[in-house]
Amino acid sequence: MEHVTKAARVHEHLLSLWEILRREQEHSLARLIEGALAEIADEDLVLSARVEQAGVVWRSLLRSARGGLADFGIWRDDEEERLRLNGEFQRHIAALESLLN
């Protein structure tokens, strides 16, 4: 049961990041997230292996060179909106780091 919950939470946060990146027209970063989403959805693997493989992809995304997720930020002229959107993005990053590391 723990793996089901963990896999669902990982999927939820990855999907949220993917949606944010698509909204911000960061298609190359969104495609990288799709790789982790594919691992978590791979029905040929047991759930624990899905989570493990998604973690491998996730960690590689965080170690990517310039222009990766670590360098990403949302820009808005309205500072309050910019802070809110970046906070939302960072909450998903932190949740995934906690779940997958």
Residue range of the domain that includes 96: 2-100
Q: What torsion, rounded to 10 degrees, do the Cα atoms 22, 24, 30, 31 define?
A: 80
Tally of domains within the chain: 1
Residue range 54-68, pLDDT digits in tens: 999 888 888 775 667
pLDDT at res. 1: 55
pLDDT at res. 72: 85
Mean per-residue pLDDT for 86-101? Answer: 94
Q: Which one-letter amino acid corresponds to residue 93?
A: I
Residue range 10-55, pLDDT digits in tens: 999 999 999 999 999 999 889 989 999 999 999 888 888 999 999 9
Q: CB 15: neighbour CB atoms within 10 A?
A: 14
pLDDT at res. 2: 76
CATH of the domain at 24: 1.20.120
Measuring CA to CA, which residue among 83, 53, 64, 68 is closest to residue 21? 68
